[in-house]
Amino acid sequence: MSQSQAALEQLRIIRSLMEKAHIYRAVSAPAALLGGVLALAVSVWPVVHAAQTHGEALFSNTTFLLLWHAILVACTLLNVSLLAREAKRRDQPLVSEGMKTALRAVSPPLMVGGLLAGGLVNWLHNLTFAAFIWVLCYGLALIAMGNFAPKSLVRLGWAFVVAGLVLFLAWAANDEVRNLRTDLGPASLVMALTFGLLHLVYAIAVFASSPKAKEVAA
């Protein structure tokens, strides 16, 4: 394939993804709702416990990592199942060229975030900084799909980036919080305000505008 043909094929794939943007937006909402509910469920009780005990940890760093990986797996499985059902309805393969393009866009920030955060938790025992890495890299992954993702997902990405930076500055400027006996409470609060609250707001906004999306699809 010549360079010009490759460029035209890439444009065709991006155009196809843009045409399906309203579908991806609708499919992403249930996964965002599940992620938001699970994130708040896992985060609220460590935050409350830390506030009541002046920073005492409710569970170990390993448990923190396992819980959040479990949430990631649950949301990923739901998202993949919804995409597979939609692909079957449209008589298209799940792993299409468009899907491969999207995966290439989001893979670098997600890989960096996963490896850095895992190292911070396992070896440096810094849960809060790991939470910031997760938040920022996830936001950058959503922004990386800006050429073909629905605008609402890109806005969600920017919300994660802005919230992550603001929360980081607030955490870095507070010596008392940074010097707690354990940082499970602050880390859980960061995850609750981002992966919990922002995902719920996004899901509610998508569900509220679903009739409009159906009109576009029609």
Residue 35 is classified by DSSP as: H
Averaged confidence pLDDT in the chain: 85
For residue 112, what pLDDT is reported?
A: 96
Rounded to whole angstroms, the Cα distance separating 121 from 118 reads 5
For residue range 30-57, list pLDDT tens digits in order.
999 999 999 999 999 999 998 888 888 8
Quote the pLDDT of residue 101.
77
Nearest Cα to Cα of residue 199 among 33, 8, 78, 12: 33
pLDDT (0 to 100) of residue 102: 78
- What is the rounded distance in angstroms from the CA atom of residue 44 to the CA atom of residue 39? 8
What pLDDT, on a 0 to 100 scale, did the predictor assign at position 23? 55
Residue 10: pLDDT band by 50, 70, 90 thresholds? low
195 Cβ contact list (under 8 Å, min separation 6): 35, 36, 39, 71, 134, 135, 138
Q: How do the domains of the chain map onto residue ranges?
A: 3-217
Phi-psi region of 55 (alpha: psi -120 to 50; beta: other; left: phi over 0): left
What pLDDT, on the 0 to 100 scale, is given for residue 143?
Answer: 94
pLDDT tens for 86-126 read 878 878 777 777 677 778 889 999 999 999 999 999 999 99
Average pLDDT, stretch 154-168? Answer: 97
User: Does residue 21 surpass a pLDDT of 60?
Assistant: no
Q: pLDDT per residue over 162-191, tens digit each?
A: 999 999 999 999 988 888 888 999 999 999
Kindly indicate the confidence band of residue 7, based on its pLDDT and cuts at 50, 70 and 90.
low
- pLDDT for res 215: 36
Q: Which residue has the higher pLDDT, 148 or 194?
A: 194
